[in-house]
Amino acid sequence: MSRLVYVLNGPNLNLLGKRQPHIYGHVTLADVEAECRELAGELKLDLRFHQSNREYEIIDWIHAAREEAGGIVINPAAFTHTSVAILDALNTFEPPVVEVHISNVHKREAFRHHSYVSLRADGVIAGFGTQGYSLALQRVARLIDEKAA
């Protein structure tokens, strides 16, 4: 089982830290990546960390993950609520998938309560702020360890 994990981020997350900080906080995506890389070192994981505002790029990264990754952590952002194509791509990927939302989507507008990605995700983290990425990585590492045992 590969110890390479893809961390994928959807639209507008490039503006993390600047965009609606009362909802998403002041931490930037670069800060999140740095935290993930530090934790990955402790967990003995390798990381590919990506963000795109384009649905097809996220799909292409999921296809790349099929070839080499042992897990995916994904915050699809608004594509969570709209993208059958991302769900279909994730359904081609067998290893663990953890879905992350920085905000508690269930406390927000009704259109954020439905996630296509949750139909595939092995676990979902919402409302833990950017700490959710670390929790997701810990979970993926645990699932990889369990499969290897």
Binding-site residue set: 75, 81, 88, 102-103, 112
**Smaller CB distance to ligand DHK: residue 65 or 102?**
102
Other beta carbons less than 10 A from residue 63's beta carbon? 12
Report the relative pairing of strands 71-75 and 123-126 from DSSP bridges: unpaired
At closest approach, how far in Å is the CB of 44 from ligand DHK?
Answer: 27
Task: Decide: 9 and 48 in contact? Cβ < 8 Å.
Answer: no
Active-site annotation holds for 24 = yes
**In 46-130, which residue ranges form alpha helices assigned H by DSSP?**
55-68, 84-90
**Smaller CB distance to ligand DHK: residue 69 or 102?**
102
**Smaller CB distance to ligand DHK: residue 40 or 102?**
102
Active-site annotation holds for 56 = no
**Smaller CB distance to ligand DHK: residue 3 or 120?**
120
- Residues forming contacts to ligand DHK in the complex (CB under 6 A) are 12, 75, 77-78, 80, 101-103, 105, 112
**In the chain, which residue ranges form alpha helices assigned H by DSSP?**
21-24, 29-43, 55-68, 84-90, 131-148
**Which listed residue (6, 24, 116, 133) is catalytic?**
24
At closest approach, how far in Å is the CB of 21 from ligand DHK?
Answer: 13
Other beta carbons less than 10 A from residue 23's beta carbon? 10
At closest approach, how far in Å is the CB of 67 from ligand DHK?
Answer: 27
Which residues are annotated as part of the binding site for substrate? 75, 81, 88, 102-103, 112
At closest approach, how far in Å is the CB of 98 from ligand DHK?
Answer: 13
Q: Which two three-digit tokens encode residue 107?
A: 């406390």
Beta-carbon contacts of 8 under 8 Å, excluding residues fewer than 6 positions away, are 50, 51, 58, 61, 62, 72, 73, 74, 75, 76
Active site residues: 24, 101
